[in-house]
Amino acid sequence: MNRAELEQQLEELHPASFAWALGCCGRDRGSAEDVLQETYLKILDGKARFDGRSALKTWLFAVIRRTAAAHRRFGWLRALRFVAHDAGDVADGGESAEQRLVHSERAAALLRAIRSLAPRQREVIELVFYHDMTIEQSAEVVGVSLGTARVHYQRGKERLRAALLREGSR
């Protein structure tokens, strides 16, 4: 794949890549932006090379995950900077104030439930549900065996269901 094709593919995958970077960075927009920029630089500078053994998206998500892990290890450096975090307002979409409130409460409940999962469970669930990957692809991204990914997926679904049921009974 030549550089122009790679850049085009990266551009097409950018929305999903940013969403995955957010997941890898605990929903911190600033960190996700930094991680994604570092990832793109690694790829375009040739420090991370796609060899075609998997789908480009699977490989890219693995690079993002490893970059986010390295980024977390050096978090104390980032703590020295003052970063303005933008909550990223979502467009209105014509909903009433009451509908937006219900939607935001449900979204908050889902986010709390997802955050309650073990890290590997959360990663596999996010990759499968939000990034349309198979369990096998998510195993490759996370760096575990297919059997382990299946266990994380099943247990994650069970814990997510239980957490959402608890949220609903409040």
Reported as a single tens digit per residue, the pLDDT across 34-51 is: 999 999 999 999 999 999
What's the token pair of residue 114?
């997802």
Nearest to 27 by CA among 81, 87, 79: 87
Task: Out of 4-8, 80-84, 119-123, pick the least confident.
Answer: 80-84
Q: Which position has the higher pLDDT, 167 or 95?
A: 167
pTM: 0.62
Q: Which domains can be identified in the chain, with CATH numbers?
A: 1-79 (1.10.1740.10), 97-170 (1.10.10.10)
Q: Which residue has the tokens 């979409």?
A: 93
At 94 the pLDDT is 57
Q: How many Cα atoms sit within 13 Å of 56 on the Cβ side?
A: 14
Q: Is the pLDDT of residue 74 over 70?
A: no
- Element (DSSP H or E) covering residue 164: helix 146-168
State how far the Cα of 156 lies from the Cα of 158, in Å rounded to an integer. 5
Residues 85, 38 contacting (CB under 8 angstroms): no
Q: Is the pLDDT of residue 82 over 60?
A: no
